[in-house]
Structure 1
């Protein structure tokens, strides 16, 4: 098997893992509120990432990288895991999973727009057309095609979903300033974001997991969305001879996700979800062919997402 074939295999495995996340979010939010879900999932991921970094003998590297860019890491920790995930989980609590996950995939468009004031980039006519196409897709999904009435169902949910894309985009713009091991960088962000999560959860909710189902769901999200998927994606990018080919595999994820949403959550997928999602993904792919300002969720944490849901 060639290096590119291995890279594509890792990318496909990552896309499959990502495709389960929207369903996991929605199921777990039946047992935990967004604050509790952020706390338990990030705690799980931090323990996992910390164990991996220490087992790889990167403890000294962790300290060195943290010292070199402490304040940048501190700011990034507020954006991700804290703000990004609280916005995202809040959106999933208020919106159908099919809407929340589709809106979340518009984040590369937000990235392109924010790169203008933050990085001094210029938008070409093609960039502008792609952005307009993507956000028309967002509008179609948000209103379920009711463009004339602009009935958003849950305006707060839509605002939170779009806020998550902004938080993620700003996170990746500043992330480009970091040098060093990306897994170590992610762990530092999580470590420095954790105090904010603890404080917010103590004020807005509590730390009681409620049930074993809620704790299991949070652990799954922490291990898969914030951990394993990101590690697999880093492996895919490292092995890739053609990064664009590998990156495009990630866009299988939102469509595969609709399969789980329909069959596990029993949501009836609205035709406008497919239409809007295709518009968003096509716009993003066309824009990224022209230029890659920063790494896409293709470099996701979460995933992770690399979320990434």
Structure 2
């Protein structure tokens, strides 16, 4: 009975995380109308760090945080430089140059990128299902990128697509390196943000995006969206997802909830960000989700 109760709680926590993730593209879209990617990241990272620090304080783990900060500062700087610094700068640049619905759909191919990059890094082998999944996903990317005009190969915004695809490479690298991270997950994430924030602020200062003339023109709606991103996308969603994975006895069942996120995201974008839903995005996203399902099914079948 307790197992059933824990699984039910796990599904609720997982659903909560997925619902929060589904709103992020909308928050990105609204915030980037008035803030640059770097400015957005400064606010979001600061808010996320405050949230994570407060959470550790409530749990009485500040002393442990300080211990790991001293013992593993090189790892914290390395991981923080990848995520959130490099990853979000690239991802937000994609959102800044593409319609949010296209950027978020392409970004969901990171799981396919992870499989292929695991071959040289973790010495893993690809299966036929991985190639089939990749074909479906990247056909979806091509369909979205050309707005359905695959025959002409006329890309709507090649640089934006490039940033979106590059973000999947960086995210996959982060998770592959993360397999060797020995820090506790919540403490590790907090340290990543703590060591990344000075890098982000320094980058913003160098690029002239923290000048007083810039700060006084920050739009309140954009700032609130950036705070929302830091609190929910970079903070609370991780805590909810982590809790879901701890409670469940069937990780793949919880993981399947992630398929809801891009579908809900398109709805929120049309309702709250005023983005018309493009037919090419729906078809391309369907191909990507089919590819991810094939990959997920293949992994599950392997462990049965």
TM range, normalised to the smaller chain?
over 0.9
Counting only pairs closer than 5 Å after superposition, residues 14-93 of structure 1 correspond to structure 2 as: 14-93=17-96
Counterpart CA distance in 2 for 1:291 and 1:74 is: 32
Q: Are the aligned partners of 1:88 and 1:161 in contact in 2 as well (CA < 8 Å)?
A: yes
Q: Distance in 2 between matches of 1:169 and 1:32?
A: 27
Shift of 1:276: 1.4
Q: Give the unaligned 5+ runs of structure 1.
A: 293-309
* Displacement of 1:290: 2.9
Give the TM-score, by structure 1 length: 0.91
Alignment of 1:133 with 2:141, yes or no, is no
Shift of 1:56: 1.0
- Choose which of 223, 245, 267 in structure 1 pairs with 2:231: 223
Using the TM superposition, name which of 279-288 and 104-113 deviates more. Answer: 279-288
Deviates more, 1:148-157 or 1:245-254: 148-157
Among 263, 266, 271, which residue is 1:258 paired with? 266
8 Å contact from structure 2 (residues 112, 130) kept in 1: no
1:212-251 correspondence runs (5 A): 212-251=220-259
Partner of 1:287: 295
In the comparison of the two structures, how many residue pairs are matched? 292
CA–CA distance in 1 between the matches of 2:71 and 2:7?
34
Q: CA deviation at 1:16?
A: 1.0
How far residue 65 of structure 1 moved from its aligned partner, in angstroms, is 2.7
Runs of 4 or more off by more than 4 Å in structure 1?
none
Distance (whole Å) between structure 1 residues aligned to residue 71 and residue 113 of structure 2: 29
> 2: CA distance between counterparts of 1:42 and 1:16?
20
Where does residue 117 of structure 1 map in the other structure? 120
Equivalents in 2 of 1:81, 1:125: separation in Å? Answer: 33
* TM-score normalised per structure 2: 0.92
Q: Which structure has greater helix proportion? A: 2
Q: Residues 69 and 178 of structure 1 are in contact (CA less than 8 Å); yes or no, is this contact kept in structure 2?
A: no
Distance 1:79 1:258 in 2: 28
- Rounded Cα–Cα distance in structure 1 between residues aligned with 2:102 and 2:160: 9
Between structure 1 and structure 2, the one with the greater Rg is 2
Residue range with higher mean Cα deviation, 164-173 or 258-267: 258-267
Deviates more, 1:262-271 or 1:59-68: 59-68
**3-state DSSP of counterpart to 1:274:** helix
Matched with 1:10 is 13
